[in-house]
Structure 1
Amino acid sequence: MLTAWAPYAPALLLLLAVLWLPGLALLWAFGQRGGRILLTAPAFSVAVVGVSGVALDLLGIRYDLLSQAGAALVLAAAAWLVGRVLPRGGHAPAPEDRPAPDGRAGATAVGAPGAGTAPDAAAPARPWVFPAAAAVGVAVGAVLLLRRMVSAIGEPEAMAQRWDNIFHLNAIRWIVETGSGSTLTLNRMVDPERTVALYPAAWHQLASLAVPVAGDSVLAAHNLTLLAVAGVVWPASCVFLTRCLVGPSPVAAVVAGAASAGFGLFPYGLMAWGPLFPNILSLVLLPVVLGLLVRLLGPGLGADPTARTPDGPARLRTAASLLVALGALFVSQPNGVLALLVVGVPLVATAWALGLRAAVRAGRRRRTALLAVAAVLAAAVWLLAWNTLTTTFFWAPFTTLPRGVGEALLYGTNGRLDVPWVLVVLTGAGIYAAVVRRRLRWLVVAHLLLAYLYAVAAAGEDGPWRDWLTSGWYTDSHRLAATLPLTALPLAALGAEHLAARLAAGLAAAAAVLRGGRAGGRPPAAGRARPLAYPVAAVLVLAVAVPVSQMGSLTRTTQEVKRYYAWDGPESILGHDEFELLQELGRLTGPGDVVAVNPWNGGSLAWAVAERPVTQYHVEDPEPPLDELVAGIDTAAPGSPACAAAEELGVEWVLDFGTQLLVPWATEPLEVYSGVTAVDPAADPGLAPVAREGGAVLYEVVGCDGP
């Protein structure tokens, strides 16, 4: 299987370069340094890609790899100028930043003596330990993800045989052929009359850049984009968020990376449901945005003993970075912004309460009043954003509320039986540690909020409350289930770090007792055992957590994804014979020849695969005059409405992919598209067969020719 993917390695490397280099250049020019920019660069690269697509389109410049590189350099130069104008940041002195007697962050810092963490656990003595652990975590997560995704996808040019993929694949070809990669205009593909036709374009822009290097295959470029984003960027984002919340714990870093590959509900779940590729991109970047928000609000919101309170200039720079990363979410898919709004409620409320308490204790009335005004403004902005991102499409509930809550807490959403028990246990340990240590209680609340929203979508009674809470996700339980790892991952990493610390303390105490016994009753020397106890405990925890997270629990999920990537499954919209005919379409027809299709049976993909314009680029009802054509072109004669429509639309060919439809039980598309579906050449003189692959046939329109 891997040999089939080998020729596409250059395209994958190109995508990884596009996902990292623009962001690194932007961050470096802005003055950011340190290993964290390696973990966060993709979020800024996606922002660069999205902004570039809009700007180049407005300037009338074709969007491709060369123009994207030029735009990235211009934006990096702009970031350099802004970085020179903004003052340099640092850390403001605060009580929690003052060194404690033991040399750690402070008596109130998480991990200080009495807080329940061994000093070795969160702040390794050697500065290279955490960067090495972070690299291992990202590598382990990437290897596990890529291995499973490649297995599930199968062939490089396979496709998810699902509804949304018709649009996504055609949109990639649209950008390649038209040179327009703007979020403001991408939806003109299906609605060409609109001046502003919004659709988040970042995913399709990224894939379009790989198409020329992937042998002009949109399908292969699309799959490679999935591997790069969900297989490599996702574990890096998870490690960054864990670093922001838990601190420089090697165990937490490795577990975060490995656990990124352990949840069946993301990214695997969205590969089969929809498939929702822009949502995948948005959720992959979301941990970076949340981590930046935590850094902006201050060290009191995480369990990082090395965190310091940023001063005004540092907050300003972090805020600027946060705005750019937020832009990446919008050009990817706004569902990521919705998830951030949910998680942000307990986070910002905690930060506000801490600030208010400090202001009241210090007798700072002006600051207290400002915080009160800020709370009102924040609530208004939150409500405006939430209501703006709502929709009018709804999925029906399918289970009970208690079962929905249980599914969310066990990560067995939407009826999954493959519960990842090791991640459930680690999350439980993390919840315990967060409650005991206090500073991450908001994360527990955020996790429960996401679980509740899933339960409302899966089981809530239809009505205004369910609609208002979940309509931003189309009340789709699959979309909401995919948000759970955002909070579950750092909690699981915190739980692993907590277990390693407790195990280390137990090992050190046991070793001290043994040493004391051998020394003839002298007092045990627990301190002598501590330097080795934590590494041993860490290895033991990782040796259990990492492999077990991949055993059994993902088997059913992988099989589900494989089922939807199969060429000739019971619900396939593009069979292998049909794909073979599409590959011949470029030889059989001329450039620019318009092909009439039934979008419900996969015919619309003639545009994505063969670069031939089609009558519809996505599944939607035909409008006049197309409705006349698709209903009667098979029996059309000169002067008929169908022939008039064919002349107006420039249709010369018909692609008949038979009666296997996207929705198997649907019958209306067979009636509406009767002229281009299941054509009988003997009874339908308006069409002449030109080529056939199995049940897929290409016809030429001949009935409209004059005598």
Structure 2
Amino acid sequence: MIVDWLAQTPALVVAGLVVSAPGLLALFGAGLRGLALGAFAPVFSIAATAIAALVFGQVGLPWSPLTWVLAMLVFVAVAWLVGRMLGPAPTESADLRWVLVFGLFLGALFAGWRLISYISDPDGISQTNDAVFHMNAVRYILETTDASSMHVNAVIGGRSFYPAAWHGVTALIVMATGVSIPVAANIFTVVIGAVIWPLGIAWLARSVFRSDVVAGYAAVLASALQAFPLLMFQWGVLFPNALSTALVPAALAMVVSGSSWVRESARWEGWVRLGLFTLVAAAALLLAQPAAFLPWAAMSVVWLSYAVVKHAEMLGIARALMIVTAAWVVLTLVWVYLARGTSGSHWPPFRNKFEALFDVLLNGQVRMPIALAISVLMLVGLAVTIRRRELRWFAVSWAGISLLYVLVAAVGNAFVRESILGAWYADPYRIAALAPIAAIPLAALGLDALIHFFARRFGRKERAFAVALAGLCASVVVMIVIVCFRGVAMPAFLEATFDRESRYLAASDAYLNPDERALLEELPDLVDEDQRVLGNPSTGAGFGYVLSGLDVYPRTWSPPKSDAWAEIAERLREAGQEDSVCEALEVYGDPAYVLDFGPSGVGPGKYPAPGMTDFDGQDGFELVAREGAASLWRITACAR
């Protein structure tokens, strides 16, 4: 396994450059340095990439590495121009920077290992419904050279906005390196979980707690909870949600840290810099997956409320009240607008309120095994934030994220599920993934508090180096135990069961089994490129477009909702006897081939099609190729 991943090092380097190089160059010119520069660089790069894709789509420029580089140079030039106008940003003081450096290195190793060991094969495909759409969308970008968020949804015939930052970056990795789409997706997964997320968590911890040591602990512990980043690559698979959630800590840290630019400068430059970077953060989140914009905005408003109340005497009570009220009103309006702009609630509650409360206190959301060590550290950190007035806003933020989970897990009220939780489709997995944004920094703070407590308790002098080293070693021990002994099976919250294995393993009974994948990859040698191939998308045939590049239809996991498709799904194998079947096929362009991957399973998200299997011996069908139980048939019954 390791050798296979090492062979993908060039692709990993390219992916890292795509998500960091534009931001590093631009933000250096705009005055950022140190951890702020490294952590916010991916936020800038994602925003710039997604905006460039939108512009290219509007003016008709092709999406390619060359045009992307040119666009990034424009963004970098603008950032340097703004930086010259505003001057350098104030830098944050460093206490024990070595702890932060080692913490980031170790955090990347732990997070990368957890993801790599779960995915196993760099060419593996997530055996989940959403993987069909996301990977087919990347194929569509490669085919049309258009990565605009106003275009990507056309892969399934849609015309609406769909956040395509993840898809655009993944397509660039494929174009620049020549790796397959599954490899590019998995490489980007590692970058999201092992680079973007630990950097953001570390910067958030330092911005809130003003300590490089706590930031270093947070970096090490970044992947300690299954809820994120791992869960978003198990459930769904939710690539865009994973990207947007990984960006939230750095986006929030920018708001918190940026306040120092305003405090330390009475001039307008600090306000302008903070405003521009806040817009960059908002753009990145909205174009990656808008749901993540809401917790970021809410936590930012909580922090703003604290800051305004703190300076109420200077601002005046009336003005302070007006600012806080306006901020919460705007947040409420935006929240309800985004929540009600989706297809609504798709999942029922599954816990009572006390069970849901214990879930958040013990980090056992969606029936995951409780994370005892991290939960103890988190609760200690929570106690510290409650005792220290300047940190209470972060305790309130943790409570707000926890409340979202309690609502989705235990409250069935229609208004709550549609107007408050609708941005996540009232999906407890997506909301559970938000918990580590606050839980991990709190755990790092708790670890720091405990290390200092025991140093005092046992009469040791609190030498900064020794205490920091002890804390770093303790965080490493916690992670080693988690990585080596804690299972990461995907929980099914409604059934209270767990996956028997990784969702990336292609077993014989998997969504896409090895025989089906082999046949799909062979399709270009069997079918002319202008021919359409039908398949039941609830089987591995849904991956036909991404793996072959041919028009394998449908291109998403759910079948079309039409009478014609219903006729095909139920009676295609009778095409030799029933003219109505041929009429239905005509609606879908008279496809000349059909894939027989069985009728599919049953259950949520599965659509059995008994008429699209068992063609052997049926009039009007000729066998073209077979791989195990998977087969390709030519439809001759409706030849015109």
TM-score where L is the length of structure 1: 0.83
* Structure 2 residue 334 is the aligned partner of structure 1 residue 385: yes
Q: Is the Cα contact below 8 Å between 2:570 and 2:610 reproduced in 1?
A: yes
Deviation at 1:457, TM superposition (A): 0.7
Deviation at 1:29, TM superposition (A): 3.1
Q: Distance in 2 between matches of 1:398 and 1:337?
A: 26
2:495 paired residue number: none
How many residues are matched?
Answer: 626
Q: Is the Cα contact below 8 Å between 1:134 and 1:254 reproduced in 2?
A: yes
Aligned AA (1:556)? G
* Structure 2 residue 257 is the aligned partner of structure 1 residue 283: no
1:414 paired residue number: 366
Q: Is the Cα contact below 8 Å between 1:152 and 1:561 reproduced in 2?
A: no
Q: Is the Cα contact below 8 Å between 1:295 and 1:318 reproduced in 2?
A: no
Deviation at 1:334, TM superposition (A): 1.0
2:113 paired residue number: 147
Q: Distance in 2 between matches of 1:478 and 1:421?
A: 20
Q: Is the Cα contact below 8 Å between 2:206 and 2:212 reproduced in 1?
A: yes
* Structure 2 residue 599 is the aligned partner of structure 1 residue 659: yes
Relative to structure 1, the CA distance from residue 695 to residue 150 in structure 2 (aligned partners, 3 Å threshold; closer, same or farther) is: same
Q: Is the Cα contact below 8 Å between 2:536 and 2:559 reproduced in 1?
A: no
2:396 paired residue number: 445
Q: Distance in 2 between matches of 1:621 and 1:240?
A: 45
Unmatched 5+ residue regions in structure 1?
92-104, 106-121, 301-306, 361-367, 512-528
Q: Is the Cα contact below 8 Å between 2:217 and 2:471 reproduced in 1?
A: no
Q: Distance in 1 between matches of 2:481 and 2:489?
A: 12
Query: Please, what is the CA RMSD of the aligned residues?
Result: 2.6
Deviation at 1:186, TM superposition (A): 1.1
Aligned AA (2:201)? C
Deviation at 1:333, TM superposition (A): 0.5
Deviation at 1:501, TM superposition (A): 3.3
SS at match of 2:595: strand
Q: Distance in 1 between matches of 2:578 and 2:368?
A: 57
Deviation at 1:468, TM superposition (A): 2.9
Q: Is the Cα contact below 8 Å between 2:11 and 2:179 reproduced in 1?
A: no
Higher deviation after alignment, 44-53 or 633-642: 633-642
Aligned AA (1:542)? L
SS at match of 1:595: strand
Aligned AA (1:636)? A
1:70 paired residue number: 70
CA deviation string 1:463-522 (max 9, x = no partner): 323443322221111111110111112212222222333344456xx35xxxxxxxxxxx
Deviation at 1:444, TM superposition (A): 0.7
Relative to structure 1, the CA distance from residue 622 to residue 612 in structure 2 (aligned partners, 3 Å threshold; closer, same or farther) is: farther
Within the candidate set 497, 504, 508, 1:565 is matched to 504
Q: Is the Cα contact below 8 Å between 1:297 and 1:351 reproduced in 2?
A: no
* Structure 2 residue 184 is the aligned partner of structure 1 residue 221: yes
CA deviation string 1:429-476 (max 9, x = no partner): 212221222111111111112112101111113332344332222111
Aligned AA (1:339)? P
Deviation at 1:564, TM superposition (A): 1.5
Deviation at 1:549, TM superposition (A): 3.3
Matches within 5 A, 1:554-703: 555-558=486-489, 560=499, 562-568=501-507, 570=509, 572-618=510-556, 619-623=558-562, 625-637=564-576, 640-647=579-586, 649-661=589-601, 663-664=602-603, 669-670=607-608, 673-676=609-612, 678-682=613-617, 684-703=618-637
Q: Is the Cα contact below 8 Å between 2:35 and 2:203 reproduced in 1?
A: no
**Structure 1 vs Structure 2: percent identity of aligned residues?**
28
1:314 paired residue number: 270
Q: Is the Cα contact below 8 Å between 1:141 and 1:258 reproduced in 2?
A: yes
Within the candidate set 422, 429, 435, 1:478 is matched to 429
* Structure 2 residue 369 is the aligned partner of structure 1 residue 431: no
Q: Is the Cα contact below 8 Å between 2:139 and 2:546 reproduced in 1?
A: yes
SS at match of 2:56: helix
Aligned AA (2:192)? V
Q: Distance in 2 between matches of 1:389 and 1:665?
A: 25
Deviation at 1:698, TM superposition (A): 0.6
Q: Is the Cα contact below 8 Å between 2:345 and 2:417 reproduced in 1?
A: no
CA deviation string 1:75-98 (max 9, x = no partner): 21222333344566669xxxxxxx
1:244 paired residue number: 207
Q: Which entry has the higher C-alpha Rg, 1 or 2?
A: 1
Higher deviation after alignment, 374-383 or 199-208: 374-383
Within the candidate set 148, 154, 160, 1:182 is matched to 148
TM-score where L is the length of structure 2: 0.92
2:172 paired residue number: 209
Matches within 5 A, 1:167-566: 167-192=133-158, 194=159, 197-212=160-175, 215-250=178-213, 252-298=214-260, 311-360=267-316, 368-390=317-339, 391=342, 392-417=344-369, 419-506=370-457, 510=459, 529-530=461-462, 533-552=463-482, 555-558=486-489, 560=499, 562-566=501-505
Unmatched 5+ residue regions in structure 2?
491-498
Higher deviation after alignment, 335-344 or 78-87: 78-87
Q: Is the Cα contact below 8 Å between 1:271 and 1:561 reproduced in 2?
A: no
Q: Is the Cα contact below 8 Å between 1:238 and 1:256 reproduced in 2?
A: yes
Deviation at 1:627, TM superposition (A): 4.4
Deviation at 1:607, TM superposition (A): 0.4
Relative to structure 1, the CA distance from residue 547 to residue 401 in structure 2 (aligned partners, 3 Å threshold; closer, same or farther) is: same
Aligned AA (1:375)? V
Higher deviation after alignment, 393-402 or 638-647: 638-647
SS at match of 1:563: coil
Q: Distance in 2 between matches of 1:561 and 1:543?
A: 33
Deviation at 1:420, TM superposition (A): 2.4
Higher deviation after alignment, 269-278 or 635-644: 635-644
Q: Distance in 2 between matches of 1:269 and 1:465?
A: 24
Q: Distance in 2 between matches of 1:603 and 1:30?
A: 48
Q: Is the Cα contact below 8 Å between 2:545 and 2:553 reproduced in 1?
A: no
Relative to structure 1, the CA distance from residue 89 to residue 225 in structure 2 (aligned partners, 3 Å threshold; closer, same or farther) is: closer
Q: Distance in 2 between matches of 1:643 and 1:30?
A: 63
2:494 paired residue number: none
Q: Distance in 2 between matches of 1:134 and 1:34?
A: 11
Q: Is the Cα contact below 8 Å between 2:596 and 2:614 reproduced in 1?
A: yes
2:496 paired residue number: none
Q: Is the Cα contact below 8 Å between 1:230 and 1:284 reproduced in 2?
A: yes
Q: Is the Cα contact below 8 Å between 2:232 and 2:430 reproduced in 1?
A: yes
